[in-house]
A = this chain, B = another copy of it.
Amino acid sequence: MALDVSTLLLPDLREMLQEKDREGLREFCEALHPATVADLLRTLPPEEAWLVLSHTSPQRQAEIFQYLPEAYQHEMINVAPRERLAAIIEAMDPDDRVDLLKSLDEELMEAILPLVARAEREDIRRLLQYPENSVGAVMTTDYVALPEDMTVGAALEQIRLLAPDRETIYYIYVVDKHRHLVGVATLRQLILARPQATLADIMTKDLIKVRVHEDKEKAAHILARYDLLALPVVDGEGRLVGIVTHDDVMDVLVEAATEDVHRLGGIEPLEESYLESPMLTVAWKRGTWLAILFAAELGTRHVLEWGEPIFQQLFLLYAFLPLIMSSGGNSGSQSATLITRALALGQLSPRDWWRVLWRESAMGTLLGVMLGALAVLEALIEADHALRLVPVVASTLAVVVLCGTLIGSLLPLVLRAFGMDPGIASSPFVASIMDVISTLVLVSVAHVVLVLSG
């Protein structure tokens, strides 16, 4: 396994550094996968990392640099000569270098940019302008675009020239004189075609593409759906402006899933990894939701005080309250989780509300009756002093579980229909709503039973 190899190499690396083994260090930088080199480099102090990197070309340095975690990149930037930094930035992939520059403070960025070659600088400024979550923010401009009247033979010749600095040469985008995207050909198609054919003859015209201002998650789902290596990006006039590659899409999908998971757990999504997030940021992202949920939960207190006379008559009823609340909250959490995830995967849309309503009504009734029956069973087994409360508890449970499934399932749909994030309907949020509702139901049912029993 590559990861195990890397720890084995660490003593070798230290030795080469100590002995100033120039040839060994060059080979270390060039023979291993850049991600493996990066895994080893980050264990060194940043100054030594620069020393190791100085044994290879700026192109290779940039490849390795791209695999370092952001925090370590910043450490290296802080101790680097500006010119060396500029050379690496020039050699980095357009999308990765823009991500890096965005993470620096404005002042440092403006100090480095003038040192970068003009063509690269303009590319950077162009990419910097796209909003955070748009396709433009994850696309790269290192693609192969060729004219439609070029022959396959000439195209292969051209690709050979472009290969060293294009992110992918496996998809060739075909454009007209005004850079409008008119087709796509794969390198596989080119290899199989007659050299005299033109690109227009062999290209696929059923284009799967995305607009530069659309949501990056949408691009990710399209690329995944069509099993592509890269997705072409066009501007409002249909001109090719970039491509989104499969590796960036994978990152987008994993990041989006993390955001959804965090929201479901009642936290504003963290941007960095758990151990790397600053404590105060985490405290803020957790504290806000804890306070909101606390405020929602104050409702239970008022309902309970309002129901005080009932509880004084049926004193031990309050002992069942947590059981009832948690059952309502759990069934609600389950429904909210299922619906939110189905929405995120595009398997469901708010238009399906009636199918959801039907499924969850049936599910809620089934599960509610089951839990009610469990409560009766438990009371019979224990045969304790609370036996006379059983009708109240069992029927409350059934109603509360049904309410849970309905609220948990419809809330995310309503939020999405109003253009909001369905993830707001997190497990803790639904549980808080259900606590208030459960209390109301319990007090009402108890009231009815007390009146009926005279």
Binding site for B on A (CB under 8 A): 1-2, 31-33, 35-36, 156, 159-160, 163-164, 169-170, 187-188, 191-192, 204-210, 222, 224-227, 229, 246-247, 249-251, 253-254, 257-258, 260-262, 264-267, 270, 273-275, 279, 282-283, 286-287, 289-291, 293-294, 297-298, 300-301, 304-305, 308, 311-312, 315-316, 318-323, 325-327, 329-331, 333-334, 336-342, 345, 347-348, 352, 355, 359, 362-363, 366-367, 370-371, 374-375, 378, 401, 427-428, 431-432, 435, 439
User: Contacts A205-B31, A250-B253, A294-B323 known; A282 to B363 CB distance under 8 Å?
Assistant: yes
Whether A206 and B334, one on each chain, are in contact in the complex, defined by CB atoms closer than 8 angstroms, is no
A77 → chain B, closest Cβ, in Å? Answer: 22
Whether A31 and B206, one on each chain, are in contact in the complex, defined by CB atoms closer than 8 angstroms, is yes
A264 → chain B, closest Cβ, in Å? Answer: 6
17 contacts between A and B (CB under 8 A): A246-B246, A260-B261, A261-B264, A264-B265, A264-B427, A265-B334, A267-B337, A273-B342, A274-B341, A275-B359, A279-B363, A289-B334, A293-B330, A298-B323, A308-B316, A322-B435, A333-B428
Whether A254 and B251, one on each chain, are in contact in the complex, defined by CB atoms closer than 8 angstroms, is no
Whether A206 and B36, one on each chain, are in contact in the complex, defined by CB atoms closer than 8 angstroms, is yes
**A291 / chain B contacts, CB cutoff of 8 Å:** 370-371, 374
User: Contacts A311-B318, A323-B298, A330-B289 known; A267 to B371 CB distance under 8 Å?
Assistant: no
Whether B341 and A261, one on each chain, are in contact in the complex, defined by CB atoms closer than 8 angstroms, is yes
Whether B35 and A366, one on each chain, are in contact in the complex, defined by CB atoms closer than 8 angstroms, is no
User: Contacts A261-B341, A290-B331 known; A439 to B270 CB distance under 8 Å?
Assistant: no
A207 → chain B, closest Cβ, in Å? Answer: 8
| Interface of A, helix, strand, loop or mixed by DSSP | helix
- CB closest chain-B residue, reference A385: B305
Given contacts A261-B341, A267-B337, A300-B326, 9 further A-B contacts (CB under 8 A): A261-B261, A267-B334, A274-B342, A275-B348, A286-B331, A297-B327, A298-B378, A301-B320, A330-B431
A11 → chain B, closest Cβ, in Å? Answer: 18
**A366 / chain B contacts, CB cutoff of 8 Å:** 283, 287
Whether A371 and B294, one on each chain, are in contact in the complex, defined by CB atoms closer than 8 angstroms, is yes
- CB closest chain-B residue, reference A254: B253
Whether A338 and B304, one on each chain, are in contact in the complex, defined by CB atoms closer than 8 angstroms, is no
A300 to B253, CA, bound (A): 40
**A170 / chain B contacts, CB cutoff of 8 Å:** 170, 187
User: Contacts A260-B261, A283-B366, A326-B297 known; A159 to B254 CB distance under 8 Å?
Assistant: no
Whether B226 and A35, one on each chain, are in contact in the complex, defined by CB atoms closer than 8 angstroms, is yes
Whether B275 and A300, one on each chain, are in contact in the complex, defined by CB atoms closer than 8 angstroms, is no
User: Contacts A31-B206, A334-B266 known; A293 to B191 CB distance under 8 Å?
Assistant: no
A337 to B339, CA, bound (A): 18
A290 to B366, CA, bound (A): 12
Which of A229, A327, A347, A428 gathers the greatest number of chain B CB atoms within 10 Å? A428
A375 to B301, CA, bound (A): 12
A336 to B266, CA, bound (A): 11
A179 to B274, CA, bound (A): 43
**A435 / chain B contacts, CB cutoff of 8 Å:** 322, 326
Whether A266 and B188, one on each chain, are in contact in the complex, defined by CB atoms closer than 8 angstroms, is no
A126 → chain B, closest Cβ, in Å? Answer: 24
- CB closest chain-B residue, reference A428: B330
A152 → chain B, closest Cβ, in Å? Answer: 13
**A227 / chain B contacts, CB cutoff of 8 Å:** 35, 247
A33 to B204, CA, bound (A): 9
Whether B192 and A160, one on each chain, are in contact in the complex, defined by CB atoms closer than 8 angstroms, is yes
